[in-house]
Amino acid sequence: MTHLAAASSLREASYPDIASEHARLASLIEIIETKLREDNANYLIVADHIRELMQLAREHFEHEEVIMEREQYSQKDYHIQNHQHLLRSLADYVALCEKGVLNIEADAGKNIRGWFSFHTRTVDEEFREWLANKGPHGH
């Protein structure tokens, strides 16, 4: 298990499906970072990996959003906007990779990791705490 994934699972031990999805996303981000660090990084391959990350992220976000809807989470709209923004950022990275824009190399790995860890540490964490405080009997 990667460092990033381990940190996620420790924090989210009571939140098993979401935590394992975060771990999968973290692993894929590590693969993308490795590809980006390689000499002669093949940007079309990187674009494929980012597309795969987008697909996983989309499924994960839908999963969270179903729980938010079911639990009538008070910050649902804000959280969903955040998800949409994150998916748009990934789509921008895919477009840059497909154009072979090389200056993505310096920042993309860091930015994609930041994209993931900032979201999980802030809005996902707030949601997890809200759910934990709500308890099984609600409100």
User: Contact residues for Fe ion (CB under 5 A)?
Assistant: 64, 124
Nearer to Fe ion, 36 or 64 (CB): 64
Show the CA angle centred on residue 39, arms to residues 94 and 101, nearest 5°. 30
- Minimum distance of Fe ion from residue 42's CB (angstroms): 29
Smaller CB separation from Fe ion, 45 or 91: 91
**Nearest-approach distance from CB 58 to Fe ion, in angstroms:** 12
Say which residues have a Cβ less than 8 Å from residue 74's Cβ, sequence separation at least 6.
130
- Residue (41 or 80) nearer to Fe ion, CB: 80
Give me the least distance between CB of 95 and Fe ion, in Å please: 23
Whether 21 and 63 have beta carbons less than 8 Å apart is answered as: yes
Nearer to Fe ion, 4 or 97 (CB): 4
Tell me which residue has its CB nearest to Fe ion: 124
Sequence-ordered alpha helix ranges (H) in 38-139 = 43-71, 76-98, 104-119, 125-134
We find the least distance from the C-beta atom of residue 23 to Fe ion, in angstroms, to be 11
Q: Phi/psi class of residue 66: alpha, beta or left (left: φ > 0; alpha: ψ in -120 to 50)?
A: alpha
Q: Which amino acid is at 56?
A: L
